[in-house]
Amino acid sequence: MAEITAFAPAIAVLPFVSFLVALFAGKYLPKKGALAGILAMGGSLVLSLLMLYTVATGHAHQSTLYTWVGGEAVPYELTFGILLDQLSTLMLVIVSLISFLVHVFSLGYMNDEDEGGLPRYYAELGLFSASMLGFVFADNLLMAFMFFELVGLCSYLLIGFWFREAGPPSAAKKAFLVTRFGDYFFLVGVVAVFATFGTAAFGGPGVEESFPHLAELALDGEASVNTFGFAPRTWFTIVGLLVLGGVMGKSAQFPFHTWLPDAMEGPTPVSALIHAATMVAAGVYLVARMYGFYALSPTALAVIAFVGGFTALFAATMGVVKREIKQVLAYSTISQYGYIMLALGGGGYVAGVFHLTTHAVFKALLFLGAGSVIIAMHHNENMWDMGGLKEEMPVTYYAFLSGSLALAGIVPFSGFWSKDEVLFETLIHGLGDSPLLLGAYAMGLLAVFFTGFYTFRMVLLTFHGEPRSDTARDPHGVRWKVKGPLAVLGALAAVAGVINLAPVAELTGAHIDFLHSWLFHGPEGLNGEHYEELLEGVAGYHAAYPLGETLTMLASAAVSLGLALAGAGLAVALYRGPEPVEHTDKLGALKTVLFNNYYQDEYQVWLAEGLTARVARAADTVDVSIVDGVVNFVSSLSLFTGDRLRRVQTGIVSNYAALLTLGLTLLLVAFGVMQGWFL
């Protein structure tokens, strides 16, 4: 029997085929390419599940598909290959599941709404999924980078889908430029990895030389790598931080988060895909993918944790005052990815992956729910125009509520379990020998309160109270294509936590922390156990339990749950009742700051326009006057010389013979003199 893993490339190839089909034949297909996309994603989902099963039965797999630079002449190989291990197959399933549901939802959101340009939409969606899937199973950093960039390109295309309107193109441009800024660092990082280790492989079964492993050996002094004169640890930190630049751009971490709220200009299903499973997830996934490398550098980990904690808090506060439902969700995404980063930086590899998983589910749910609301509201996104939608659209409501509870982190919804574990892991490592983490932890903890608050504010304003506009009184109905994905995701958001009920496992002693054991049994060098050893041994992370293990955990859970409930309670207190009123004015000057997103956009625009544009203009002046001058001079000189040279060709054959003889004689004389023939 052929190895089932031989079909792994098809996971990415199927959506790519649907991209081609939609692009070239979409016009002629019944649903404008939607069916091709759904079929392809369904296929990918099935295959991903198969891969998950294969890996679960102990067949982690790595294979090189194509070597495009290699051989004896070059010291390194550039390859395409796939790496199927616990982490990547889990992510494959998430991505293909979300993408599948988004495709289905799009039938309701795009087709039924008679949007134009559908073949283009489905083509781009297909390419988007294909690139993300390719990114997920990439077995080396360079391949990952290439697909990473493709993901960025597709998000640019999709955000700017309605390119005839004013907002989307500029939002698309912003998303592209901001993430590109981060990717510069990533690219330098990739080159640095190659220059340092000569390979960019992540590792996996059968891979002898992977760069995290080499780095580990180098730190132990067992292998020598080119560290460009730095101490190995310093250099690895630098490289790690360079790659982190790309991560922060893609995962919208402070200060690169500004593109994400604007990206709401794209179609809502696209937002769901971007936020839940693809674009934004790509960043943190990369950190998890090369966690063995980051675990070697406590500095890099601390930076990750701090960026994550700060982003979580920072974005949550901005989400508090937003009026548009999708804006709230956007900031919640930034905030939640902050948590994931916090977890990874805080030594909670499993926690980070866990939160990535649950977040993918409930955030997709929330966006699709918001999409459903937006359909109902005839594309009005202002929550202050909504209200009372609970009665009109119960399926959406309950699904949305499920997602919101998960987002806020209320027990027993999935978000609670994962967020709790994130905070817990950070806390115990912080209490260990890394007090710095406690600061990050504090920020994360505070953000829980805000999360609870803005989540319930959103729910209350949208679904509760009396309708505040005519459209809210008589919303547009939605059909099964919308409700179906919502129902699936709503159920998942409620129960997805069961994959890793760590606190329950701790209390009862039952082994029900499945994700934990799943990730701990990855291939050698790529599993949680190894990471934990690295964290302990190299990065110096130790867990400490001041109240004993169980009690510390319960206390941590109680604190975060309490804060979430407090936030939710405050929201309920403020926005309860049939006619909620705006309370933002009470914030005074702070309101302005929050509405303006802490003036993040402003300074970045200043950076772009005030500074960069001026430098560019100066450079342009230099370019036009001096560089162009030189170039023009050179070109006219060339043409002049050419014109002189061709005049040598007089057309008279005797002259040619003479010149020929002259040339030969010159050669003979010159060499004669030089080599001493005449001596």
Range in contact with other proteins (rule: CB under 8 A) among 118-126, 148-156, 489-497, 662-670: 662-670
Beta-bridge mates of residue 67? 79
Range in contact with other proteins (rule: CB under 8 A) among 121-129, 446-454, 566-574, 631-639: 631-639
Is 659 one of the binding residues for other proteins (CB under 8 A)? yes
- Which tokens go with 356? 């990535």
- For the chain, the first-to-last Cα distance in angstroms comes to 81
Q: Are 159 and 172 in contact (CB under 8 A)?
A: yes
- Which tokens go with 135? 């990114």
Is 621 one of the binding residues for other proteins (CB under 8 A)? no
Measure the CA dihedral 352/353/355/356, to 10°: 120
Smallest distance, Å, CB 71 to other proteins? 10
Is 72 one of the binding residues for other proteins (CB under 8 A)? no
What is the number of other CB atoms lying within 10 angstroms of the CB of residue 521?
Answer: 16
Smallest distance, Å, CB 311 to other proteins? 42
Range in contact with other proteins (rule: CB under 8 A) among 13-21, 243-251, 445-453, 668-676: 668-676
Comparing CB distances to other proteins, the nearer of 592 and 661 is 661
Comparing CB distances to other proteins, the nearer of 612 and 661 is 661
> Omega before 412 cis (within 30°)?
yes
Range in contact with other proteins (rule: CB under 8 A) among 276-284, 338-346, 546-554, 640-648: 640-648
Q: Are 258 and 601 in contact (CB under 8 A)?
A: yes
Is 649 one of the binding residues for other proteins (CB under 8 A)? yes
Phi–psi pair at 205, nearest 5 degrees: -65, 130
Comparing CB distances to other proteins, the nearer of 581 and 627 is 627
Beta strand pairing status for 78-84 and 61-69? antiparallel
Q: Are 62 and 87 in contact (CB under 8 A)?
A: no
Comparing CB distances to other proteins, the nearer of 621 and 635 is 635
| Nearest Cα residue to 211 out of 134, 147, 283, 289 | 289
Measure the CA dihedral 498/503/506/507, to 10°: -100
Smallest distance, Å, CB 199 to other proteins? 22
Is the CA virtual torsion 332, 333, 338, 340 positive or negative? Answer: positive
Comparing CB distances to other proteins, the nearer of 146 and 593 is 146
Comparing CB distances to other proteins, the nearer of 586 and 647 is 647
Among 479, 635, 636, 673, binds other proteins (CB under 8 A): 635
Is 677 one of the binding residues for other proteins (CB under 8 A)? yes
Is 579 one of the binding residues for other proteins (CB under 8 A)? no
Is 643 one of the binding residues for other proteins (CB under 8 A)? yes
Is 638 one of the binding residues for other proteins (CB under 8 A)? yes
> What is the rounded CA–CA span in Å between residue 431 and residue 486?
40
Q: Coil, strand or helix: which one is 394? A: helix
Smallest distance, Å, CB 69 to other proteins? 11
Is 65 one of the binding residues for other proteins (CB under 8 A)? no
Is 74 one of the binding residues for other proteins (CB under 8 A)? no
Range in contact with other proteins (rule: CB under 8 A) among 185-193, 278-286, 441-449, 635-643: 635-643
Amino acid 636 reads S
Is 2 one of the binding residues for other proteins (CB under 8 A)? no
Count of residues in contact with other proteins, rule CB under 8 A: 33
Q: Write the binding mask 341 to 370 for other proteins: x where contact by CB under 8 A, - elsewhere.
A: ------------------------------
Is 671 one of the binding residues for other proteins (CB under 8 A)? yes
Q: Where are the alpha helices (DSSP H) in 67-117?
A: 86-106
Amino acid 124 reads E
Range in contact with other proteins (rule: CB under 8 A) among 97-105, 219-227, 267-275, 656-664: 656-664
Is 663 one of the binding residues for other proteins (CB under 8 A)? yes
Phi–psi pair at 208, nearest 5 degrees: -80, -40
Is 650 one of the binding residues for other proteins (CB under 8 A)? yes
Q: Are 119 and 81 in contact (CB under 8 A)?
A: no
Smallest distance, Å, CB 662 to other proteins? 7
Residues, the chain = 679
Is 57 one of the binding residues for other proteins (CB under 8 A)? no
> What is the rounded CA–CA span in Å between residue 449 and residue 420?
13
- Which tokens go with 201? 């492989």
Smallest distance, Å, CB 533 to other proteins? 44
- Which tokens go with 141? 């950093």
Q: Coil, strand or helix: which one is 29? A: coil
Interface positions, 216-275, toward other proteins (CB under 8 A): none
Interface contacts to other proteins, rule CB under 8 A: 635, 638-639, 641-643, 645-647, 649-654, 656-664, 667-668, 671-672, 674-678
